[in-house]
Amino acid sequence: MELEEKIRELESEIKEKDGRIRELELKLAECLGRVDELRSEKSELQEEVNRLHVMKLDLKLRNLQELEDENNRLKHRIEITKGLLDDARERLEVLEGVVDEFLKQGLTGRLRGREPEGLIYYRKRFGD
């Protein structure tokens, strides 16, 4: 009888171990499922990070392009303004010369109505 009792104990122990194995297999299946979920979630998050990174780069590029456009507009304005200032400076220099010529012109030149050379140059150059 001792042998049968030992066999029953061993069978009982085997049943317990089988039950424990089933529990562990279920936990393993749950863990594997969770790992798959986490992998999927990680993949989605990585895609979102990549998308946001691309959006950030696109925004930086757009801002850079806007700054470059504004810089080009300002350069153009500066060139135009510089040209106008250079033209005005030249006109002033020529007119100062004309005034000096008028001041140095004698009475006879004034009576004859002679125009100073600077005034003739000014009218040809600037069309006034």
- 56/49 Cα distance (integer angstroms): 10
- What is the enclosing helix (H) or strand (E) of 118? helix 117-126
In a 3-state reduction of DSSP, which class is residue 68? helix
Backbone angles phi, psi at 116, to 5 degrees: -65, 150
Take residue 92 and report the two structure tokens written for it: 């002033």
- One digit per residue, the tens of pLDDT, for the chain of length 128 reads 688 888 999 999 999 999 999 999 999 999 999 999 999 999 999 999 999 999 999 999 999 999 999 999 999 999 999 999 999 999 999 889 888 887 788 777 677 778 888 888 888 888 76
Entry pTM: 0.55
In angstroms, the CA 1 to CA 21 distance is 30
Question: How many residues belong to the chain?
Answer: 128
